[in-house]
Amino acid sequence: MRKLNADVVVVGGGSTGTGVVRDAAMRGYRAILVERADLAQGTSGRFHGLLHSGGRYVVADPLSAAECAAENAVISRIQPAAVERTGGLFIVGPGDDPDFGDVFLAGAKAAQVPAEEISPGAALRLEPRLDPKLRRAFQVLDGTVDGWQLVWSAAASARLWGGQILTYTEIVEIIRGSEGVRGVRAVDRKTGEAIEIECGFLINCAGPWAGRVATLAGVRPVEVVPGRGVMVAMAHRLVNRVVNRCAKPADGDILVPVHTVCVIGTTDVKVADPDNLAIPRAEVRQMLEAGEALIPGFQQARALHAWAGARPLVKDDRVDDSDTRHMSRGMAVIDHAARDGVAGLVTVGGGKLTTYRLMAQHAVDAMENQTGRRHPCRTADEICPGQTPGRNYLVSCRLQEREADRLDDQIICECELVSRRALLGLWDEFPQASLDDLRRQSRLGMGPCQGGFCSARAAGLACATGKADGAQATGLLRDFLANRWLGLAPVLYGDQVRQTALDYWIFQGALDVDHLPAAPNRPAEPPAAEDQGSPPTRRQASLACSAGPAVAGEGVSL
């Protein structure tokens, strides 16, 4: 049993939670973040990668639009390596209402979102693959953002200010006294160790899982309606700018270039359980057809991977709960002292990744409102560690790095240009990491071959450097391939079928990985959920025999 002590415990290691722990640490609080899986492994790693200019919300939600515009500039400044300043276009297609363009421009002006109309010809010169029959085009300041880089660099900043980050640590109990929240009990899911953290405050940033955390705290239910969004990454950057349909927001109307791929998103289906997100082939089809409307020939392009994310929407009485797209995208900060008479507890929900920093600021402000202490928020003023001011990500960044070390280091993943040194550096930092954990930070196995060549190398490297024995390394390899498949199977068509056949020839034909003996049993999983009287989720069941959580279709690109 490990005992820790903190002013505030933050539950949830997505963008919001990491923003909160950074903000709280910078204000001088002793802050600990607990995340039951890896950082940005849930919603913050499963979106399309859009750093909003605000353009998307200028008509329906001008307040959100203005926040997005302001935060876009802040994030691009304080976390430049996570952001590519691609710019974006809003396109009125041949089937869209051209008058909506005027509504859009007026909204942009009112919300102070920079937007400028350009001629269809100019738009086609910028993005030659667009439908040549497009009627109007508007340029905006959309960018793209790597959710993992964003969250990890915020975490690094939090650590610098004394914040602690506990990943693979699941809350099993929230301890309450007469005064309110007094602490939490948690379990380290990789080692099974029990952890108790004494604290005066808890900020619930669990996103789609926030309702469960609220239930653990014993307050009145917080109703979260997870909206499932399916996204598909294509093997190339079919566009170099974000392309939006200039129409009322609908399914599959954004195409986002991220790293070496581009992502079409997204569907929106209400689901009951954020741990079990299916990727129905019908929704993939719907995305491909939506892509076809923006880029003729889209369906002939090669798809790489699909994933599903759960929107962390908090139910708002004003809208019908079957329509998750129009639920509160704006942030919802629930002060449980006022709402339930439970002091020391705040729940944050809703919101967008683009405005994560602002949400974190509001959450910590809400804590200070309760406690009566006041410190200024400084998260917008300081650049996160490891970032070069003014140097935003470019798609050529990795090439430049490899150009420097190509003669004295091996490239383990050729698709994503991950070097041996980079991979081992991460592994030394996270000795318990699964290949999926390493992937989220390094992009290992996220290119066209989807791990066909690099995953066996990485497993071999684990064995060669003493990070794993034969059984463990085999488990790492098998888990990685099985997890990649969850996002591959739904987009198995065209050239990706050929790739899959080649990968099977390698792993089964030549290496016979399918007949290696199974790993001996890992340490048993802590009976976390069962203790609370609820049945184990599929994720927990699968964890019992594998180091990495098997959750459907994790993002290829984000």
Binding residues for another protein, rule: CB under 8 A, are: 280-282, 285, 288, 299-300, 303, 406-412, 420, 453, 456-457, 459-464, 469-471, 473-474, 477-478, 481-482, 484-486, 489, 492-495, 497-498, 500-502, 504-506, 508-517
Distances 25 to 11, 37, 107, 347, 363 between C-alpha atoms, Å: 15, 22, 37, 18, 13
CB of 512 to another protein, least distance (A): 4
Report phi then psi at 293, rounded to 5.
-70, -30
Which residue, 30 or 281, has its beta carbon nearer to another protein? 281
Distance CA 191, CA 252 (A): 41
Q: How, if at all, do strands 136-140 and 115-118 pair?
A: antiparallel
Q: Which of 326, 348, 332, 363 is nearest to 61 (CA)?
A: 326
Q: Cβ–Cβ contacts within 10 Å for residue 53, how many?
A: 28
User: Minimum distance between the CB of residue 237 and another protein, rounded to whole angstroms?
Assistant: 19
Helix (H, G, I), strand (E, B) or coil at 269: strand
Q: Which residues neighbour 214 within 8 Å (Cβ) at sequence distance 6 or greater?
A: 204, 220, 221, 222, 336, 347
**Based on CB atoms, which residue is closest to another protein, 5 or 300?**
300
Minimum distance between the CB of residue 415 and another protein, rounded to whole angstroms? 14
Return the number of the residue (382 or 403) whose C-beta is nearest another protein: 403
**Min CB(409)–another protein separation in Å:** 6
- To another protein, the closest distance from the beta carbon of 476 in angstroms equals 10
Shorter beta-carbon distance to another protein: residue 231 or 363: 231
| Minimum distance of another protein from residue 242's CB (angstroms) | 23
**Cα 108 to Cα 49: distance, rounded to the nearest angstrom:** 22
The least CB distance from residue 260 to another protein, in Å, is: 21
Helices (H), 341-467: 356-371, 397-405, 420-429, 435-442, 454-464
Calpha distance 443→416 (Å, rounded): 6
User: Which three-class secondary structure state does DSSP give residue 512?
Assistant: coil
Question: Is it true that the peptide bond before 266 is cis, omega within 30 degrees of 0?
Answer: yes
Q: Which is nearer to another protein, 70 or 489 (CB)?
A: 489
The residue (of 281 and 326) whose beta carbon lies closer to another protein is: 281
Tell me the C-alpha distance between 42 and 151, whole Å: 12
Please, what is the minimum distance in Å from the beta carbon of residue 478 to another protein? 7
Identity of the residue, 38 or 503, whose beta carbon is nearer to another protein in the bound complex: 503
CA atoms of 396 and 419, how far apart (whole Å): 15
User: Which of residues 337 and 489 has its CB atom nearest to another protein in the complex?
Assistant: 489
Sign of the dihedral defined by the CA atoms of residues 106, 107, 108, 112, in that order: positive
Cβ closest to another protein, residue 92 vs residue 306 = 306
Closest separation in Å from C-beta 152 to another protein: 26
